[in-house]
Structure 1
Amino acid sequence: MSAGVRSTARIAARGDGRGGTALPALEGEGSLAVRRTRAAHADEARVMLVGAMSGPLGGDRFTVEARADEGARLHIGSVAATLALPGQAKGEAHYNVRLTVADGARLDWLPEQLISAHGSDLRVTTRAELAPGARLVLREEQVLGRVGEEPGRLTSRLTVHRAGRPLLDQELACGPGAPGGWDGPAVLAGHRALGQLVVVRPEFETDRPAAAVLDERGTAALTPLAGPAVLVTAVAPDALLLRRTLDAALLRLAD
């Protein structure tokens, strides 16, 4: 196994019995620090991930574990983009995110973009496990290379399970060594920013938004999933336009 930094952040939230959200676990180690910040809603706990060092670099393994128990409303963001870089250690870097949401709880996973710098090799795995009455808002954004730079190798897998059954399981590989066609017209069509927005809400069992193209360029689409959930996928020439597109989709789906 390649040498590298091992970093873990653990966050646990639960209802405090007074209409708010308590954080019985809030800890980070290695390159990941966690901070509670001012919440936008009275019943919410807001946590920000802080990268204490550069990375992930080659051979590093970062893990974020977050759990929202009954009565909790947990919002997780990050203070800056995550920059995947090549490192002295050889081998693939890993960034693993594990989200668990109980009945009657809500978790918003809304970090800043992940940038795949030239020469880097990163595998991102995000897995959400939801109870039947759970709510989830999950956004992922990837930017392939810095300005004027070719991307590194980036493999991203996103899975969402509800009541033990899969709602979504998708994987995308981009950059050097990825299967052919990733930059072709059927996938990214030359764009260098891509993102996903997943919204899971019990009300979608009976009132789920219909499939739609969300912009005049045809670069963003809303797709109902096989359950009370929808997926928005988008590509854009840069991170700013991607964020605007996903923000508009989130506003459209806001409860």
Structure 2
Amino acid sequence: MNRSLTRIGIEAAPGRARLDLRSGVLAVRRVRSTDRGAVVALVATSAVLVADDDIVIDVHVGAGAWLEIVETAGTVAYNAFGTPSRWSARISVADGGRLTWLGEPFVVSDGANVDRVTTVDLASTGSAVLRETVVLGRVGERGGAVDVRTTVRQGGAPLLVERLDLNDPAERSHPGLLGPHRVVDTVSALGWRPPPTPELVAGQRFDLHAAGALARSLDATTHTSPLAPVARRWAQSMADGG
């Protein structure tokens, strides 16, 4: 596979936080920063994802620092006629660190074959809010194959281990799975317990056994998902100390 590494690291420092940035196919741009944190933007410099792409994003948030990652546009996994591609995020958050990453839609076109893997290692008092919106197909498409795997550990202990096997369009459309829906929208609060979500109905919020929760919605289109305000409120609540 054609591997491309993007790295984002931040450490709190007097005057202005220290950023360790490395751009790959996804370039990193500083938007603003303080002595304890920064907002950075991810900008695609070429078509992503295409056949044989292996996109890796390494993120590290140091002790007591905060980081917000903003995506300037959604990602499209293009028709690769079944050739695999991979998108992976490897995240670590030290004690007292906070990460906010409310991703834009990840669209899996017909003919795409994608592994999407997210691994998060939180220190005992690290926390994160992540949003992941997987869209099966562009308008008029069923969408290709995608395997979504998420592993989260806090203090070395498992907090969340999940796999969404969405490889077979026929199987995933069964009742009890996705049915007629083509959008899987998920907001994760990791390392802390987020506030109530009265706008969600039963079966859309799942509290984890330890500090954390998931909000998930299955929708026909991205704009009908109710999770955008939930993501913003959870991110603000984390910034305010929970």
What TM-score do you get using the length of structure 2 for normalisation?
A: 0.89
Q: Which amino acid aligns with 2:39?
A: R
Q: 2:38 aligns with which of 33, 42, 45?
A: 45
Which residues of 2 match residues 18-167 of structure 1 at below 5 A?
Answer: 18=15, 21-23=17-19, 25-29=20-24, 31-38=25-32, 43-87=36-80, 91-167=83-159
Asked whether the equivalents of residues 93 and 122 of structure 1 are also in contact (C-alpha less than 8 Å), the reply is yes
Pairing partner for 1:191 from 176, 181, 186: 181
CA distance in 2 between partners of 1:227 and 1:17 (Å): 34
Query: Contact conserved, 1:143 with 1:193, CA < 8 A, in 2?
Result: yes
Name 1:234's counterpart in structure 2. 217
Residue type of the partner of 1:137? V
Structure 2: state its 5+ residue gaps: 238-242
Which residue identity is paired with 1:126?
T
- Tell me which residue corresponds to 1:169: 161
Q: Which secondary structure does the structure 2 equivalent of 1:38 belong to?
A: strand
Q: For 1:189 and 1:133, how far apart are their aligned partners in 2? A: 38
Task: Render the CA deviation track for 1:83-138: whole Å, top value 9, x for unaligned.
Answer: 001348x6310111001000011011222110001111111000100001001111
RMSD over aligned CA atoms reads: 2.2
Aligned letter for 1:167?
A: L
* Contact 2:106–2:135, Cα closer than 8 Å, also in 1: yes
Q: Any stretches of 5+ residues in structure 1 without a counterpart?
A: none
Number of matched pairs = 236
Amino acid in structure 1 at the alignment position of 2:166:
C
Identify which of 7, 13, 16 aligns with 2:10.
13
> Match of 2:177, as an amino acid?
V
Aligned AA for 2:12? G
Q: Is the 8 A contact 1:59 1:93 kept in 2?
A: yes
Instruction: Give the Cα–Cα distance (whole angstroms) in 2 for the partners of residues 107 and 11 of structure 1.
Output: 11
* Equivalent residue letter for 2:190: V
* Structure 1 SS opposite 2:228: helix
1:32 shift after superposition: 1.7
1:50-100 Cα offsets, whole Å, 9 max, x none, are 111112112110000000001210011211111001348x63101110010
C-alpha separation between the residues in 2 aligned to 1:247 and 1:119? 29
